[in-house]
Amino acid sequence: MARLSDIIETFLKEMLNDMHGTVEIQRNELANRFNCVPSQINYVISTRFTNDKGYYVESRRGGGGSISIRRFNIDCAGDYLMHIISAIGDSLSQHTCEVFINNFFDYEMIDVREASLMRAALSDKALVDVPMEKRDNVRASIMKNMLMSLTVL
């Protein structure tokens, strides 16, 4: 049996598909629909609809708390990659790199070989000679450079 979080995620993704990538919902209404507390809705949105997964979420307080979810247009790979480059910031963990790489592969922006090369170059094993306190900063720089090279292809 599917968990409530999975059911809510599926429902929201179906809404996004029906609404061409943008949906605005009322947190309380959605909680009532699924017979759960509003914090369950917050949990699903904050863990399943993140920037690194290709979504932009805007939350508004008051009036039941509306939430706007927008899926990035991954059909325009350059725009999506530029968004990711700006979202990376100055530091990037190996785990977050894995999430990005998996998304790029799932969206068919890179192939298996490119994904493997990116994983190898961004791994802690490859950065073993970089001091631990600088490793995530170096990883972010390498990832940004890799993505920049993909935007010009």
Element at 58 (helix H, strand E)? strand 55-60
pLDDT in tens, 67-92: 889 887 666 667 777 778 878 889 99
Computed over every residue of the chain, the mean pLDDT equals 86
Residues, the chain: 153
Beta strand 55-60 with 66-71 is antiparallel
Entry pTM = 0.58
Residue 41's domain spans which residues?
Answer: 4-71
Q: What is the pLDDT of residue 74?
A: 61
**Beta strands 22-26 and 66-71, pairing class:** antiparallel
pLDDT in tens, 124-150: 999 999 999 999 999 999 999 998 887
Question: Cα separation of 38 and 80, whole Å?
Answer: 30
Between 14-23, 61-70, 92-101, 142-151, the lowest mean confidence (pLDDT) is in 61-70
Q: Identify whether residues 64 and 10 lie together within a single domain.
A: yes
Instruction: Provide the domain count of the chain.
Output: 2
Same domain assignment for residues 38 and 63? yes
Domain at 38, CATH number: 3.30.56.130
- Would you state the pLDDT for residue 53? 76
CB 92 within 8 A of CB 136: yes
Looking at residue 143, its pLDDT comes to: 94
> How crowded is residue 88: how many other Cβ atoms within 10 Å of its Cβ?
20
